[in-house]
Amino acid sequence: MAKLAWRNLTQQPLRFAISAGGVALAVVLILAMSGVFAGSEEHAVLYMRNQPAELWGMQAGVSNLHMSSSILSEETVQQIQQFPGVEQAIGVLYASAGVDVGETEIYSYVIGIDPNAPYGGPWSLVEGNGSPGLNEIAIDRDLAYRYGLTLGDTVSILGYPLTITGLSEGTFGIATNVVFVNKTAMALLMDVSPQSASYVLIEPKTDTNVNSLENALNSTIRDANIMSRANFIGSDQEMIRQMGADILQMMNVIAYIIGLLIIGITVYTATLERAREFGVLKAIGANTRQLVSTVFIQSYLIAGIGFSAGIGLAYLVSILVARLSPEILILIEPRQWLSQLPVLVIVTGVASLLPVQRIRSIDPLIVFKA
């Protein structure tokens, strides 16, 4: 019956292609949307991922970098820096603000770094200097390219002009644009001590157990919350995921309804067109299981081919988008499309129910009609 199902579909190659293509588009929509969100999640944590700090200190009660406000006093920062087992602890200031490029304001995460600190700044510098002086800024290369900026040009934050002295990469995304400024200058803007910090990037000594150090810091320094890098990243990703979950879920539902309709209509039309042949099969002895299996095979062939094509197309789209718009990272991983498989199996089964019902009602006496 598999051969019959295949032939029934391929006898109308255009309709088959449209059907499988429709399913493929629905799959692309699902994967691209979830890929954009996954990409945003990844972009958002690139700063944390690329710093050598295994522990991150922040104000007590804070557990995120994004959408958060954290300030640790000069004393607390010093306490962390001098804590037994800590090799280095680099304080950075952090705030979200608009970077003005001419008339355009670009929402950015501004990180104030100490130019003499061994880390905390851009992890990949393409051009210039990654340790900005008082009136300097390092911005992303793709951002600079998009707005026609180059080293020596000026942008401003809260009306303060800053000269671009460094171009970084991997710091520009649709949801997150990270720029680096001088920590002392930023402290003045924020009206805080230059020795205070929003976050402290802690590098433990090599012979120190990281978990024990985290626990010791947390139990000793009450004003601070110390998190491992993995937990800090996970916490931010979870927050971003929750922000996008409803939209993603809605898009998935829409895409699945489209897929359901495409598969259902195609198989139902194919069944209607071949009602007489199904009647003939009934007459010459096909049982219900064999007839129903023909319908299901047709449905799952469309869904399977559409799904496979959709995965391929989604990867292609992610590559094309990365070339055309580097700030949009579409991150597609096997777990994403594997997780869609059970839903697709159920949707395809549901789409087959109407054609199956139609087949069951076909009268085999149709064979006697000329």
Partner 1 sequence: MHTNYSLELIQINKIYGSGATEVRAVDSVDLQVNPGEIVLIMGPSGSGKTTLLSIAGLLLRPTSGTIHVNGISTSILNENELARIRLESIGFVFQAYNLIASLTARENIQLVMNMAGARDHKAQERSQELLALLGLEERANHLPADLSGGQKQRVAIARALANDAQLILADEPTGNLDSKTGYEVMELLCCGLDREKGRSIVIVTHDHRLTDIADRVLWLEDGQLQENAVGMM
CB of 152 or CB of 285, closer to partner 1: 285
x-or-dash pattern for partner 1, window 3-32, by CB under 8 A? xx--xx-xx---------------------
Q: How many positions of this chain bind partner 1 (CB under 8 A)? A: 26
Distances (CA, A) of 248 to 254, 261, 304, 320, 328: 10, 20, 23, 22, 16
x-or-dash pattern for partner 1, window 260-279, by CB under 8 A? ----------------xx--
Token code pair at residue 282: 């009934």
The reply on whether position 357 binds partner 1 by CB under 8 A is no
CB of 331 or CB of 367, closer to partner 1: 367
CB of 284 or CB of 324, closer to partner 1: 284
The least CB distance from residue 271 to partner 1, in Å, is 13
Nearest CA-CA partner of 26 in 337, 273, 365, 270: 337
- Three-class SS state of 215: helix
Structural element, H or E, at residue 218: helix 210-220
The reply on whether position 335 binds partner 1 by CB under 8 A is no
Please identify which residue in 232, 282, 292, 337 interacts with partner 1, judged by CB under 8 A.
Answer: 282
Binding region for partner 1 (CB under 8 A) out of 108-116, 137-145, 210-218, 281-289: 281-289
Please identify which residue in 209, 212, 288, 325 interacts with partner 1, judged by CB under 8 A.
Answer: 288
Q: What is the C-alpha to C-alpha distance for residues 95 and 167, in angstroms, rounded to an integer? A: 20
CB of 96 or CB of 293, closer to partner 1: 293
Please identify which residue in 29, 226, 286, 359 interacts with partner 1, judged by CB under 8 A.
Answer: 286
CB of 13 or CB of 334, closer to partner 1: 13
Q: What is the C-alpha to C-alpha distance for residues 24 and 263, in angstroms, rounded to an integer? A: 11
Pairing type for strands 136-140 and 160-168 reads parallel
Q: How big is the chain by its Cα radius of gyration, in Å?
A: 29
3-state SS, one letter per residue, for 296-316: HHHHHHHHHHHHHHHHHHHHH
**DSSP conformation letters of 244-292:** HHHHHHHHHHHHHHHHHHHHHHHHHHHHHHTHHHHHHHHHTT--HHHHH
The reply on whether position 239 binds partner 1 by CB under 8 A is no
Q: Are 20 and 309 in contact (CB under 8 A)?
A: yes
Binding region for partner 1 (CB under 8 A) out of 122-130, 179-187, 194-202, 280-288: 280-288
Site residues (vs partner 1, CB under 8 A): 1, 3-4, 7-8, 10-11, 276-277, 280-290, 364-365, 367-370
